[in-house]
Amino acid sequence: MTLKNKTLQLTIVVLSVVATVAACSEAGSNQSETKKEDITEFRQKEKDELVARGKYLVTVSGCNDCHSPKIMTPIGPVPDTTRLMSGYPSEKGIPTLSEALAKDQSWVKMSHDVTAFAGPWGMTFGANLTPDEATGIGNWTEEVFVKTIRTGKHLGQEGGRPVMPPMPWYMVAKMTDEDLSSVYHYLMSLPAISNRVPAPIPPNEIKVVK
Ligand code: HEC
Protein backbone atom coordinates (compact mmCIF):
# COMPACT_ATOMS: atom_id res chain seq x y z
CA MET A 1 0.00 0.00 0.00
CA THR A 2 1.33 3.45 -0.88
CA LEU A 3 1.56 6.14 1.76
CA LYS A 4 -1.15 8.11 -0.05
CA ASN A 5 -3.54 5.17 0.09
CA LYS A 6 -2.84 4.60 3.79
CA THR A 7 -3.61 8.23 4.64
CA LEU A 8 -6.85 8.04 2.69
CA GLN A 9 -7.87 4.87 4.53
CA LEU A 10 -7.10 6.43 7.91
CA THR A 11 -9.13 9.51 7.02
CA ILE A 12 -12.11 7.34 6.12
CA VAL A 13 -11.87 5.45 9.43
CA VAL A 14 -11.62 8.66 11.45
CA LEU A 15 -14.53 10.22 9.61
CA SER A 16 -16.75 7.22 10.12
CA VAL A 17 -15.93 7.12 13.86
CA VAL A 18 -16.85 10.81 14.17
CA ALA A 19 -20.10 10.17 12.29
CA THR A 20 -20.99 7.22 14.53
CA VAL A 21 -20.28 9.17 17.73
CA ALA A 22 -22.37 12.09 16.46
CA ALA A 23 -25.27 9.80 15.58
CA CYS A 24 -25.11 8.09 18.96
CA SER A 25 -25.09 11.31 20.95
CA GLU A 26 -28.01 12.63 18.91
CA ALA A 27 -29.98 9.46 19.60
CA GLY A 28 -29.02 9.78 23.26
CA SER A 29 -30.29 13.33 23.60
CA ASN A 30 -33.51 12.43 21.81
CA GLN A 31 -33.99 9.61 24.23
CA SER A 32 -33.48 11.81 27.29
CA GLU A 33 -35.91 14.38 25.88
CA THR A 34 -38.53 11.67 25.46
CA LYS A 35 -37.88 10.55 29.02
CA LYS A 36 -38.30 14.07 30.37
CA GLU A 37 -41.60 14.41 28.49
CA ASP A 38 -42.74 11.06 29.83
CA ILE A 39 -41.94 12.07 33.39
CA THR A 40 -43.67 15.47 33.06
CA GLU A 41 -46.71 13.76 31.56
CA PHE A 42 -46.68 11.15 34.33
CA ARG A 43 -46.39 13.82 37.06
CA GLN A 44 -49.22 15.84 35.47
CA LYS A 45 -51.41 12.72 35.34
CA GLU A 46 -50.57 11.94 38.97
CA LYS A 47 -51.47 15.53 39.95
CA ASP A 48 -54.72 15.45 37.98
CA GLU A 49 -55.68 12.26 39.83
CA LEU A 50 -54.91 13.88 43.21
CA VAL A 51 -57.01 16.93 42.30
CA ALA A 52 -59.94 14.73 41.15
CA ARG A 53 -59.84 12.68 44.34
CA GLY A 54 -59.54 15.85 46.42
CA LYS A 55 -62.60 17.29 44.70
CA TYR A 56 -64.53 14.12 45.49
CA LEU A 57 -63.42 14.13 49.16
CA VAL A 58 -64.18 17.84 49.68
CA THR A 59 -67.61 17.36 48.09
CA VAL A 60 -68.69 14.32 50.08
CA SER A 61 -67.12 15.50 53.37
CA GLY A 62 -69.28 18.61 53.32
CA CYS A 63 -66.41 21.16 53.41
CA ASN A 64 -68.52 23.42 51.16
CA ASP A 65 -71.23 23.55 53.84
CA CYS A 66 -69.20 25.95 55.95
CA HIS A 67 -66.48 27.18 53.58
CA SER A 68 -68.46 28.22 50.48
CA PRO A 69 -70.73 31.26 50.13
CA LYS A 70 -74.24 30.19 49.10
CA ILE A 71 -77.06 31.11 46.79
CA MET A 72 -80.53 30.72 48.29
CA THR A 73 -82.73 28.38 46.22
CA PRO A 74 -86.08 26.57 46.74
CA ILE A 75 -84.13 23.61 48.21
CA GLY A 76 -82.23 25.93 50.56
CA PRO A 77 -78.72 27.40 50.40
CA VAL A 78 -76.45 25.80 47.76
CA PRO A 79 -72.74 26.58 47.19
CA ASP A 80 -72.02 29.54 44.89
CA THR A 81 -69.90 27.74 42.26
CA THR A 82 -68.25 31.01 41.19
CA ARG A 83 -66.38 31.26 44.52
CA LEU A 84 -66.16 27.81 46.05
CA MET A 85 -64.35 27.45 49.39
CA SER A 86 -63.69 31.20 49.66
CA GLY A 87 -65.17 31.42 53.18
CA TYR A 88 -67.52 33.86 54.90
CA PRO A 89 -68.15 36.68 52.38
CA SER A 90 -66.39 39.68 53.95
CA GLU A 91 -68.60 42.17 52.07
CA LYS A 92 -71.31 41.29 54.59
CA GLY A 93 -69.29 42.95 57.38
CA ILE A 94 -69.12 41.69 60.95
CA PRO A 95 -72.50 40.21 61.98
CA THR A 96 -74.28 41.43 65.10
CA LEU A 97 -76.67 39.56 67.41
CA SER A 98 -79.93 40.88 68.80
CA GLU A 99 -80.05 41.10 72.62
CA ALA A 100 -82.47 38.18 72.74
CA LEU A 101 -80.29 35.99 70.52
CA ALA A 102 -77.14 36.88 72.44
CA LYS A 103 -78.85 36.05 75.75
CA ASP A 104 -80.16 32.69 74.59
CA GLN A 105 -77.20 30.36 75.06
CA SER A 106 -79.17 27.14 74.47
CA TRP A 107 -78.73 27.41 70.68
CA VAL A 108 -75.83 27.71 68.32
CA LYS A 109 -76.61 30.45 65.80
CA MET A 110 -75.51 30.45 62.20
CA SER A 111 -75.94 32.72 59.21
CA HIS A 112 -78.30 31.78 56.34
CA ASP A 113 -75.36 30.77 54.18
CA VAL A 114 -73.81 28.64 56.95
CA THR A 115 -70.48 30.50 56.93
CA ALA A 116 -70.77 32.48 60.22
CA PHE A 117 -71.41 30.88 63.60
CA ALA A 118 -72.03 32.09 67.16
CA GLY A 119 -71.95 29.87 70.23
CA PRO A 120 -70.41 29.63 73.70
CA TRP A 121 -66.98 29.86 71.99
CA GLY A 122 -67.74 33.26 70.47
CA MET A 123 -68.24 34.07 66.78
CA THR A 124 -66.34 32.22 64.04
CA PHE A 125 -66.24 32.32 60.26
CA GLY A 126 -65.66 29.64 57.61
CA ALA A 127 -62.07 30.19 56.43
CA ASN A 128 -61.00 31.14 52.89
CA LEU A 129 -59.31 27.97 51.62
CA THR A 130 -58.69 29.15 48.04
CA PRO A 131 -55.08 29.72 46.89
CA ASP A 132 -55.23 33.52 47.26
CA GLU A 133 -51.87 34.41 48.82
CA ALA A 134 -52.98 37.36 50.93
CA THR A 135 -56.35 36.11 52.22
CA GLY A 136 -56.44 32.35 51.53
CA ILE A 137 -54.02 29.44 51.80
CA GLY A 138 -51.88 30.36 48.77
CA ASN A 139 -48.76 30.58 50.95
CA TRP A 140 -49.40 27.35 52.82
CA THR A 141 -47.24 24.36 52.01
CA GLU A 142 -48.85 20.95 52.00
CA GLU A 143 -47.07 20.28 55.31
CA VAL A 144 -48.64 23.35 56.97
CA PHE A 145 -52.08 22.32 55.69
CA VAL A 146 -51.79 18.74 56.96
CA LYS A 147 -50.38 19.89 60.34
CA THR A 148 -53.24 22.36 60.80
CA ILE A 149 -55.81 19.62 60.27
CA ARG A 150 -53.93 17.04 62.35
CA THR A 151 -53.21 19.30 65.33
CA GLY A 152 -56.20 21.66 65.27
CA LYS A 153 -53.78 24.57 65.56
CA HIS A 154 -53.83 27.52 63.13
CA LEU A 155 -50.93 27.07 60.66
CA GLY A 156 -50.05 23.86 62.51
CA GLN A 157 -47.91 25.88 64.93
CA GLU A 158 -47.21 24.46 68.36
CA GLY A 159 -48.76 26.81 70.90
CA GLY A 160 -50.64 28.53 68.05
CA ARG A 161 -54.26 29.54 68.37
CA PRO A 162 -56.73 26.65 68.26
CA VAL A 163 -58.87 26.13 65.15
CA MET A 164 -62.29 26.95 66.59
CA PRO A 165 -65.72 25.28 66.39
CA PRO A 166 -67.61 24.27 64.45
CA MET A 167 -64.58 23.22 62.29
CA PRO A 168 -64.56 19.41 62.79
CA TRP A 169 -60.76 19.20 62.43
CA TYR A 170 -60.56 16.20 64.80
CA MET A 171 -62.77 14.26 62.34
CA VAL A 172 -61.08 15.52 59.17
CA ALA A 173 -57.78 14.54 60.86
CA LYS A 174 -58.80 10.89 60.42
CA MET A 175 -58.20 11.17 56.65
CA THR A 176 -55.12 9.29 55.43
CA ASP A 177 -52.01 11.25 54.38
CA GLU A 178 -52.89 10.57 50.74
CA ASP A 179 -56.45 11.86 51.19
CA LEU A 180 -55.25 15.05 52.90
CA SER A 181 -52.71 15.53 50.11
CA SER A 182 -55.52 15.16 47.57
CA VAL A 183 -57.68 17.70 49.42
CA TYR A 184 -54.74 20.14 49.51
CA HIS A 185 -54.06 19.74 45.78
CA TYR A 186 -57.73 20.25 44.94
CA LEU A 187 -57.96 23.41 47.08
CA MET A 188 -54.80 24.77 45.43
CA SER A 189 -56.35 24.11 41.99
CA LEU A 190 -59.37 26.35 42.68
CA PRO A 191 -59.53 29.94 41.41
CA ALA A 192 -57.88 32.24 43.98
CA ILE A 193 -60.55 34.46 45.54
CA SER A 194 -59.52 37.55 47.46
CA ASN A 195 -61.74 37.57 50.56
CA ARG A 196 -60.43 38.47 54.02
CA VAL A 197 -62.48 36.48 56.51
CA PRO A 198 -62.73 38.07 59.98
CA ALA A 199 -60.73 36.51 62.84
CA PRO A 200 -62.68 34.68 65.57
CA ILE A 201 -64.44 37.04 68.03
CA PRO A 202 -64.40 36.13 71.76
CA PRO A 203 -67.88 35.83 73.40
CA ASN A 204 -67.66 39.13 75.31
CA GLU A 205 -66.67 41.06 72.15
CA ILE A 206 -69.63 40.05 69.97
CA LYS A 207 -71.55 43.16 68.99
CA VAL A 208 -75.06 43.06 70.45
CA VAL A 209 -77.77 45.38 69.09
CA LYS A 210 -81.20 46.23 70.50
C1 HEC B 1 -69.45 22.73 60.30
C2 HEC B 1 -68.69 23.69 59.56
C3 HEC B 1 -67.37 23.28 58.91
C4 HEC B 1 -67.12 22.19 58.13
C5 HEC B 1 -68.08 21.08 57.71
C6 HEC B 1 -65.73 22.29 57.71
N7 HEC B 1 -65.17 23.42 58.25
FE8 HEC B 1 -63.22 23.94 58.08
N9 HEC B 1 -63.56 25.56 59.30
C10 HEC B 1 -64.81 25.96 59.77
C11 HEC B 1 -64.66 27.20 60.51
C12 HEC B 1 -65.77 27.99 61.17
C13 HEC B 1 -63.29 27.52 60.48
C14 HEC B 1 -62.60 28.74 61.10
C15 HEC B 1 -62.19 28.39 62.51
C16 HEC B 1 -61.30 29.44 63.12
O17 HEC B 1 -61.31 30.60 62.68
O18 HEC B 1 -60.60 29.10 64.08
C19 HEC B 1 -62.64 26.45 59.73
C20 HEC B 1 -61.27 26.39 59.50
C21 HEC B 1 -60.64 25.46 58.69
C22 HEC B 1 -59.23 25.40 58.45
C23 HEC B 1 -58.17 26.25 59.16
C24 HEC B 1 -57.99 27.55 58.52
C25 HEC B 1 -57.01 28.41 59.29
O26 HEC B 1 -56.77 29.53 58.81
O27 HEC B 1 -56.50 28.01 60.33
C28 HEC B 1 -59.00 24.40 57.53
C29 HEC B 1 -57.67 23.99 56.93
C30 HEC B 1 -60.29 23.83 57.21
N31 HEC B 1 -61.27 24.48 57.95
C32 HEC B 1 -60.49 22.80 56.30
C33 HEC B 1 -61.71 22.13 56.15
C34 HEC B 1 -61.88 20.99 55.29
C35 HEC B 1 -60.83 20.40 54.38
C36 HEC B 1 -63.17 20.57 55.47
C37 HEC B 1 -63.85 19.37 54.87
C38 HEC B 1 -63.19 18.10 55.00
C39 HEC B 1 -63.79 21.48 56.44
N40 HEC B 1 -62.88 22.42 56.80
C41 HEC B 1 -65.09 21.37 56.89
C42 HEC B 1 -65.99 25.27 59.61
C43 HEC B 1 -66.14 24.06 58.97
Going by alpha carbons, the residue nearest to atom 11 of ligand 1 is: 126
Centroid of ligand 1 to alpha carbon of 38 (angstroms): 38
For 111, other C-beta atoms within 10 Å of its C-beta total 17
Task: Check: CB of residue 142 under 8 Å from CB of residue 184.
Answer: yes
Q: Which residues contact 194 (CB under 8 A, 6 or more apart)?
A: 132, 134, 135, 136
Question: Mind listing the pLDDT tens digit for each residue in 86-129?
Answer: 999 999 999 999 999 999 989 999 999 999 999 999 999 999 99
Q: Is the CB of 172 under 6 A from ligand 1?
A: yes
Task: Check: CB of residue 68 under 8 Å from CB of residue 80.
Answer: yes
Q: Rounded to 5 degrees, what angle do the CA atoms 78, 112, 51 make?
A: 40
Centroid of ligand 1 to alpha carbon of 168 (angstroms): 7
Question: Mind listing the pLDDT tens digit for each residue in 125-156?
Answer: 999 999 999 999 999 999 999 999 999 999 99
1, 10, 11, 99 from 15: Cα distances, Å: 20, 9, 6, 96
Going by alpha carbons, the residue nearest to atom 33 of ligand 1 is: 63
Centroid of ligand 1 to alpha carbon of 103 (angstroms): 26
